[in-house]
Structure 1
Amino acid sequence: MTVPNLLLSGIVGSTAYGLAHVGSDVDRLGLFAAPTTELHGLRGPKESHVTTAPDRTLHEAAKWCRLALGGNPTAMELVWLPADLYEVRTPLGEELIGIRSSFLSAQRVRDAYLGYATQQFRRLEGRGDGSFSADTRKRTAKHARHLKRLCRQGLGLYTTGRLEIRVEDPEEYHAFGERVAADPSAALPLLRHYEAAFDETPAVLPREPDEAAVQAWLLRVRRHFYTAETATSCSSSRTSPRP
């Protein structure tokens, strides 16, 4: 899959967290800019491109901004990756990284991270008493690791204003996953602990994100790709032979 105007792309997921094992998929996430003129037609451009083998998700710039403004944990990772995990990093992508704090707000971060963690817990609840297949047990352990990661990353972002992608002690997460795979109810105390921590710990994040800064960046993207398209179009017109 070739998507034009890629602005920023990198390796995310378990590899980025330091939780990957032999045979783990390598997930990639990125954002691109649709040609500006395409935004004015009868039908807008496709906003996301998703492939497997390789696993890659690319969001159009405006869609990615909406996801990040909502606190979406998966989208948010893209602008907080360690430098060695970026595979595409353009000047406009660098600008986006530079304004990453503008997307943050206390309530949205709390709701998004705890919300996703709760979704993971609901999946665990549906697994019963642990007497299931080896494959299901493996998926259960994975959901448990991500529940713990979401809770810890979310609280860290809420209280420090920074998103730490790599976990400090991967073995701790793997051990937690195995405990929960044996007894899914073991995840509930951790979830309750973080719910209380969010309630009791002051946030350093603002009440609302800085949408003006995000809008200004997005308009720079639109101007850049409109100017480039216009220049190409004019050049083609000048060099095309007359009928």
Structure 2
Amino acid sequence: MALLQVNAFSNVLGMEVMLDVILPQETKKVFGTDIKGVTEDVAVLYLLHGMNGNHSVWQRRTAIERYVSSMGLAVIMPSTDLSWYTDTRYGMNYWTFIADELPKICHELFPQLTTKKSKTFAAGVSMGGYGAVKLGLRRPENFAAVASISGGLTIAEGTEQLLEIRSKAYWEGIFGPLEEIKGSENDLIHLIETLEVNQAPDFFITCGTEDPLYQASTYTTEKMTKQGYNVTFEDGPGGHDWRFWDEYIQRVLDWLPL
């Protein structure tokens, strides 16, 4: 595997952005395992961070590079600040960046990456779980499979919980008036109920049973199941922490249709 730290300019955001990229690489080792390289049509996973993270957090908190070393899978880990993967009310269009511009940047810099929906995936933790599911629901033509680990999936139903985390000014800077989130393009439950199910990717939702966001994951799974989505749900002991997330990113990787 090759690990690259990329600084690229985003025309959408009008600033430099950072991303870590893991790419398959052919290796011949005296000790260890030889790996056959993949140089064309490489499957790609966009792996998103949570509120307290950035582009480097998956590398620092998990063994993601080791986990994908023999999968023939590229992993794109962008930094998106505290944006909630949204075109914010303060004028920073992070949704447009992550959904539309980032794939173009990655294909320009790494032309070996696939352009096929069947080999393109998204996953994320916490805020990133919200972002990944949002990608699957709003750009279903681009993704075959999407996973949320401990995702903040029901923000429109839980505005009181939001205010326990950050101030009202912060949330309204992202989404606008809190009472207007429900039924908007940022409301995942609304998107679940309005997307044509036959267009949707497969979903994997998981959360620790001691996580305060556990109910958000079970509620979202119930809504998806009722609407006829192909959704897999798994839970297990754990809270909102990297001990659980390191274990369950491995479950997600096993689940991906590679």
Question: Normalization by structure 1: what TM-score?
Answer: 0.33
Bigger relative contact order, structure 1 or 2, given CA contacts below 8 A and separation 6+? 1
- If each structure's helix is expressed as a fraction of its own residues, which one has the higher value? 1
Question: Normalization by structure 2: what TM-score?
Answer: 0.32
Q: Which has the larger radius of gyration?
A: 1
